[in-house]
Structure 1
Amino acid sequence: MTQKLIEDLMDGRLDTAIVALPVSVSSLHEEKLFEEEFVLVRPLKDARMPVPNSEMLREMRLLLLEEGHCFRDQALSFCNTTATASRDLMEGSSLATLVQMVGAGFGVTLIPQMAVPLETRSAPVSVARLSEHRPSRTIGMVWRKTNPLAGQLEQIAGLIRDAGVE
């Protein structure tokens, strides 16, 4: 979670935010909403090939977000590698950039499931679910523990959980 977002929540400029958990800020309440899987994005020409496992991904050119993005750390963790140990690592500033790089044949990447419809619509890529140890993240709502709207925010969180995610 960015420092700006935390400041906005703490200063009351925002009442709540939907983010990847945990945020680990003692003055913020975290309410889990759902789990979201990461999917593998690879060039369209690889669509019929077997889905690589985490060991095979370590040997591929892995495209990641720039340093400082929590999603980058989650992808490296899944591949059980570090940026310095990666054989051939390239970085991008956004998921859209990474997907376009995959479409151009520069490598493969992992993206959150909810990003697939938007980020892959204009790139010649294939999307595959990983077969083993599917990486995921927890998405939740956060707000100040002192927020007078806490009861209503808990109700909103409940509605989101009840709506489910496809």
Structure 2
Amino acid sequence: MKKIVFLLCSVLLLSCNSKAQDKKEQKEFPVSKTDAEWKAELTDMEYQVLRKAATEPAFSSELNSNTRKGTYVCAGCGTPLYRSENKFKSGTGWPSFDRVIEGNVAFSTDNKLGYSRNEEHCATCGGHLGHVFNDGPKETTGKRHCINGVALDFIPEKDE
């Protein structure tokens, strides 16, 4: 009987998970809004991706095949994030870039799938953009910034 009680106590202790362990460190961003304000301003899919770190379906964004010259900005706050000359066709189903506009993208570690990935956020509003991988073009940076198209708006160059 003592062994059973000991075993049950051990299982309970090992399975304890406090709320403190669940909380991600919250970073302050220059643009900060309530959840209700974000919901009112964004489409449902923009909200799910930018604020809840969802992923849009592959090949669903018009921006995936966009080849016009211009700048890709955050759909949540308008911060310039990527330039068209740094976009490349990755075949993955999401807009891909080999570099960011320095200082406008923040990075964190995402372990939601059971392994670590480098997650990208807008440095101004904290909106989830996508992830960065090391399988990009070797002739440039070797990086593939795999970005949800719904997290972006495209601003064409003025002479386009």
TM-score range, shorter chain: under 0.3
User: Which is higher, the Rg of structure 1 or of structure 2?
Assistant: 2
Q: Normalised by the size of structure 2, how large is the TM-score?
A: 0.23
Taking structure 1 as the reference length, the TM-score comes to 0.22
Q: Which has the higher helix share?
A: 1
